[in-house]
Amino acid sequence: MPSLIIGSDTEGNKVSKSLPALRNLFVSYLDDTQIKNLLENLLVDSNNNIVRLLFIAKEANLIDTTTCKNTESYVYNNPEIGSIKNKNHLFAQIVKEQKKHNSKMTLICIDDMWQFYPRFTSKIAINHFRQLLQYGYNSNIHFVIGSILPYRNLLVQLMRSDTLGGNKHVVSTLGAELIYSPDELIFFRGLDTEIQEMYYPIKEEGAIK
């Protein structure tokens, strides 16, 4: 199963999490190398489990996507996804096509949500994207969504599903959360919980820094 190496424990052992079990992953980071290393590790580990990769980033060559056979890369100023309408159309097409390959994963990676959606203020647009996050994993579509740490509050609002209905006093999320803190600690929060697990960066060459 596709997994993410998120850090190391107190004894220096690498800690991995299964991406399908997390539904989606929301990542708050300080430096581009943190999200870059996380995504590269995911692609290396998950190559045989991903039928399609949609990589949306500020730079076309942020990571090496050649390990995945069916890869589509977009940069934020690409006119094909230059409006919310076009973005929604793109995602709707992915959902439609995924139904033909439900046994394998479609992975959508967005390195900076607020550069991808700079005008993400429409309640309709937000709820549409939340619904995609909520129902996509049932069709084996999973997201890894990044955000620079100062905008974590916006990311938390996006990942909460209680605004779509249900008991607002219950913590209900559309995925897990990974936070790279300024003091070089890594915090992980799983589905539907406020409990955070603490990990440490992996110091090896080519791993999470």
Does the residue 209 lie in any domain?
Answer: no
Q: Tens digit of pLDDT for each residue in 150-176?
A: 999 888 888 876 554 444 444 567 899
Give ∠ CA 25-175-38 in degrees, rounded to 5.
10
Give domain status of residue 205, yes or no. no
Residue 158 sits in which domain range?
3-199
Is 59 within a domain? yes
Separation between Cα atoms, residue 6 and residue 21, nearest integer Å: 14
For residue 73, the SS3 value is strand
| Helix (H) / strand (E) containing 143 | strand 141-148
Q: Which residue has the tokens 């230059």?
A: 82
d(CA 13, CA 16) in angstroms, rounded, equals: 10
Q: Can you state the percent helix, strand and coil of the chain, rounding each to 5? A: 35, 30, 35
Q: Is residue 193 part of a domain?
A: yes
For the stretch 94-125, pLDDT in tens is 888 887 776 678 889 999 988 887 766 566 66
Unique residue bearing structure tokens 């996380």: 38
How far is 141 from 94, CA to CA, in rounded Å?
A: 9
Q: pTM to 2 decimals?
A: 0.85
Q: What is the CATH number of the domain that holds 43?
A: 3.40.50.300
The total of structural domains in the chain comes to 1
